[in-house]
Amino acid sequence: MTGRNLLTDQPALYEARFPDVERLAGRWAEDCLRRHGAGPRVLDMGCGTGRDAAHLSAAGRTVTGADRSETMLAHARSHHPGPTYLQADLHGFDFGRAAHDAVLCLDSALLYCHTNAQLDGFLASCRRTLTWGGLLVAELRNGAYFLGRTDLLDRPVETAFAWEGTEYRSTTTLSVDRTAQLLRRTRVWTTDDGARPATQHSAWRLLFPQELRHFLTAHGFDVLELHDGPGPRTEPPWREGQLPGTSADADRLHLVARLRTAWTPQRSRGQTCTTNVSPACADAASSPPRPGPPPWP
Ligand SMILES: C[S@@+](CC[C@H](N)C(=O)[O-])C[C@H]1O[C@@H](n2cnc3c(N)ncnc32)[C@H](O)[C@@H]1O
């Protein structure tokens, strides 16, 4: 079997493999939203099994969880109720103008935007769905971490875990595709239940902190935080009350950016904003006024 994803095709197995018993990711996201005064309407893009969306819903927010995978969405609806779950593509989605006060994109979901056009599509969609002053909160692998880290690449790493009486063994090899600027992963799964081995190919954009800043600025966001921890997937993990760090060197990046309340075209810094230079620029400049966020909490 090739091309399918053993974990995202089986959301219950995904949650067993990546447990988050303390709902650390959801709590960290809620902490970011509160610290920056986000309004209550939250969109979790690439919501997966719905754990984080449901945590925010239980915290009193009005949450939409969106994912491309119907399998994930079906699991989310039945196991993590509260949010509204909808199918949507990160590369371009439309929930209406100013429909949300914050967009979340956790556990590297953002890195499924492989090309610049896909990243532009994601950020333009975020801009459309966010109220002025709305937040984008993301947590993702740091492309810069792989610079010089050849020990992580081109050698198989084996892991094993048991779930519901079956032992799952995986052999994972990471490689860097420099031309496409992607981290590619080949993973071969074997189980002791007689199933044939399954080979799965995945890829993530290798996105660098300064590059991410540039994309965000071009799309009308101010970067409030961009750091390598503490966060929900750092070691040691984030704990309530801990403030963001200042470096962007380690494995994970944590981003909080705010959609500017008034569009300031790039020409104010000596560049020209024309329709054929930057779709981000053109779309934002022609956006009608939108309401500010309702108060929170
Ligand atoms: C690593 S999981 C993260 C799930 C969740 N955010 C979490 O933190 O547990 C990535 C999710 O992104 C979804 N995904 C991948 N490509 C996508 C796309 N183009 N549009 C929407 N969702 C996508 C996958 O289906 C999967 O549920």
8 lines ligand 1 (CB under 6 A): yes
CA distances from 169 to 98, 151, 164, 189, 191 (A): 45, 22, 14, 6, 6
Atom of ligand 1 at shortest range from CA of 107: 8
Give the residues across from 255 on adjacent strands.
138, 226
Regarding predicted confidence, which is higher, 171 or 4? 171
Measured in angstroms, how far is the CA atom of residue 275 from the centroid of ligand 1? 31
Atom of ligand 1 at shortest range from CA of 18: 9
Note the pTM of the prediction, 2 decimals: 0.89
46 lines ligand 1 (CB under 6 A): yes
Report yes or no on 193 lying in a domain: yes
| 216 and 194 within one domain | no
Atom of ligand 1 at shortest range from CA of 104: 6
List pLDDT tens digits, range 48-100.
999 999 999 999 999 999 999 999 999 999 999 999 999 999 999 999 999 99
Report yes or no on 3 lying in a domain: no
Measured in angstroms, how far is the CA atom of residue 47 from the centroid of ligand 1? 6
For residue 14, the number of C-alpha atoms closer than 13 Å in the C-beta half-sphere is 17
Measured in angstroms, how far is the CA atom of residue 38 from the centroid of ligand 1? 23
Measured in angstroms, how far is the CA atom of residue 109 from the centroid of ligand 1? 5
List pLDDT tens digits, range 98-111.
999 999 999 999 99
In sequence order, the 6+-apart residues with CB closer than 8 A to the CB of 108 are 139, 140, 141, 204
| 175 and 53 within one domain | no
Structural domain tally of the chain?
A: 2
Report yes or no on 217 lying in a domain: yes
Report yes or no on 291 lying in a domain: no
CATH number at residue 281: 3.40.50.150
Measured in angstroms, how far is the CA atom of residue 104 from the centroid of ligand 1? 11
Atom of ligand 1 at shortest range from CA of 112: 16
Q: Which two tokens stand for residue 24?
A: 């650390």
Report yes or no on 253 lying in a domain: yes
Cα gap 264→270, rounded to integer Å: 12
67 lines ligand 1 (CB under 6 A): yes
Go through 104-122 and write b for each residue having 16 or more CB atoms within 10 A of its CB, e for each that does not.
Answer: bbbbbbbbbbbeeebbbbb
Report yes or no on 4 lying in a domain: no
| 201 and 57 within one domain | no
| 244 and 137 within one domain | yes
| 49 and 102 within one domain | yes
Domain end marker among 205, 230, 253: 205
| 106 and 75 within one domain | yes
Report yes or no on 245 lying in a domain: yes
Measured in angstroms, how far is the CA atom of residue 276 from the centroid of ligand 1? 31
Please determine, for residue 225, whether its predicted confidence score (pLDDT) is greater than 90: yes
Q: Which domain holds residue 161?
A: 146-205
| 110 and 26 within one domain | yes
Q: How confident is the model at residue 163 (pLDDT cuts 50, 70, 90)?
A: confident
Please determine, for residue 36, whether its predicted confidence score (pLDDT) is greater than 90: yes
- pLDDT attached to residue 114: 98
CATH number at residue 177: 2.20.25
| 182 and 104 within one domain | no
Domain end marker among 205, 230, 251: 205
| 176 and 48 within one domain | no
| 25 and 160 within one domain | no
| 237 and 281 within one domain | yes
- Candidate from 4, 8, 123 with most ligand 1 atoms within 8 A of CB, to mutate: 8
The mean pLDDT of 255-266, rounded to a whole number, is 78
| 200 and 239 within one domain | no
Report yes or no on 85 lying in a domain: yes
**How much of the chain exceeds pLDDT 90, in percent?**
72
Domain end marker among 158, 178, 205: 205
Give the residues across from 223 on adjacent strands.
257
Measured in angstroms, how far is the CA atom of residue 49 from the centroid of ligand 1? 9
